[in-house]
Amino acid sequence: RTLFFSDELCASIVRSHRETSQYRLEELQALTWKVFSREEIQAYQSKTVDEMWQHCAVRLTDAVQYVVEFAKHIPGFRMLSQNDQIALLKTGSMEVVLVRMSRFFNTENNTVFFDGKFAGTEVFKSLACGDLISAVFDFAHGMCALKLTEQQLALFSALVLINADRPSLEDRGRVQRVQRSVELGLNHILHRDNQDSLMHKLYQRMAVLRSLCVLHMEKLRWFSQRYPLTAHSLFPPLYKELFC
Ligand SMILES: CCS(=O)(=O)c1ccc(CC(=O)Nc2nc(-c3ccccc3)c(C(=O)c3ccccc3CC(C)C)s2)cc1
């Protein structure tokens, strides 16, 4: 049966987003001005490249787990074959993490929520991937500028994930139908909020997301060639399964 846009589809995506957000907005708004001290920044900067990558990979994997839960609660996603669900998560989970992370980005002092406080780019210096870090920060700035509501963000996250153009899909037609119903849902929400103009801006954000994740994969390939032991034995299994 084809999935048409429906109120309950939107409601289930918004509910799933809410139930699988690691941190609620109000929780983190209370923390916004908790930044790292000079000593704490020094401690991060004196970590070796592989220590810092490992440290981040653990947090990133944590965030990805919640995105997997989010996906599993989307009616149209559950309908897809196991292989197609994995294929969509392999390429889409990092993108959804980046969209979600931008909710906890403080544009006033250019900091992102990391390890319990808000970190500037200097905290990530020992990752030795400054271009990726500044691209992630720029993306977060761009997302904040759109001032999406949680409902708009939920539908946008579902659309980022359910993308029929992803590689190696078995039943592209079925993914297209689910994607179409999520698109109709997002259109409906934006129209109801009198923000139809946001739609094309969101498609532009999706294009930036894709390039960001290509950059992340390139850095990851560089890292795992340089530190094969860390990448193959110390990275969390889900991180390896999805990104390596
Ligand atoms: C995502 C769900 S959430 O509830 O919003 C949430 C849940 C949990 C947190 C806390 C958290 O884990 N923040 C992290 N921040 C960054 C980060 C790092 C560099 C710049 C910008 C943010 C993490 C990363 O490891 C990361 C993320 C994107 C690209 C690259 C990396 C590093 C790679 C090279 C391993 S983890 C924040 C927000």
Q: Choose the weakest-confidence range: 169-178, 180-189, 228-237.
A: 228-237
* Tens of pLDDT, residues 119-139: 999 999 999 999 999 999 999
Is the distance from the beta carbon of residue 17 to the nearest atom of ligand 1 less than 6 Å? no
Q: How confident is the model at residue 4 (pLDDT cuts 50, 70, 90)?
A: low
**46 vs 26, which has greater pLDDT?**
46
Residue 1 has pLDDT above 60, yes or no: no
Report how far ligand 1's centroid is from the alpha carbon of 59 (Å).
6
Residue 2 has pLDDT above 50, yes or no: no
Is the distance from the beta carbon of residue 57 to the nearest atom of ligand 1 less than 6 Å? yes
Report how far ligand 1's centroid is from the alpha carbon of 64 (Å).
10
Q: How confident is the model at residue 6 (pLDDT cuts 50, 70, 90)?
A: confident
Residue 44 has pLDDT above 50, yes or no: yes
pLDDT score for 76: 87
Backbone phi, then psi, for 83, in 5-degree steps?
-60, -40
Q: Is the pTM of this model over 0.80?
A: yes
Is the distance from the beta carbon of residue 105 to the nearest atom of ligand 1 less than 6 Å? no
Helix axis angle for 82-101 and 198-226, nearest 10°, is 100
* Tens of pLDDT, residues 62-109: 999 999 999 999 988 999 999 999 999 998 999 999 999 998 899 999
Is the distance from the beta carbon of residue 212 to the nearest atom of ligand 1 less than 6 Å? no
pLDDT score for 25: 81
Is the distance from the beta carbon of residue 94 to the nearest atom of ligand 1 less than 6 Å? no
Tokens 């000079």 locate to: 38
Residue 39 CB burial class (10 angstroms; 0-12, 13-18, ≥19)? exposed
Residue 193 has pLDDT above 60, yes or no: yes
DSSP 127: G
